[in-house]
Amino acid sequence: MEGGKPQSTLMMQKDSECYFHTVGKVAMEKLESLRSKMRDDTATSADRNHVAILEEIAALASNRVSATLNETARRKGGSVWVERTSESHFPHIRLHGGALEDDPIS
C-alpha cells in the first residue's frame, strides 16, 4: 500500500512482470557466468548442477513462449503446427512446459 491506498491491479501486474523479467534476466546472466567458469575449467560440481537447472528453465521458458505464440496464431485463424496424439491431447506442449493446461487451444 502506498499512502494508505492499495495499488491498482494494473500496477501490481506491471510490478509482477518487472519482477519476473528481472528474475529471468539475472538467471540468464548467472548461466553465462557459470558457462564461462566451465570453459575456464574452474567450475565446481555445484556450478555444473546449477548450469543444468538453469538450462532446463531456459528451455521450458522458450517452449512456453513458442506455445503461447502458436496458440495466439491459431485463435486468430492461422494455420499452426501442433504435436498431439489425439484431438484432445497435447503431450509435447504439456510435458515440455509450453502450456499451462492440458488443452491450451480450447
Q: At what angle do helices 45-75 and 9-39 cross, to 10 degrees?
A: 140
- Enter the pTM of the model: 0.64
pLDDT in tens, 13-69: 778 989 999 999 999 999 999 999 999 999 999 999 999 999 999 988 888 888 778
- Residue 81 has what pLDDT? 65
Q: Please provide residue 89's backbone torsions phi and psi, each rounded to the nearest 5 degrees.
A: -130, 125
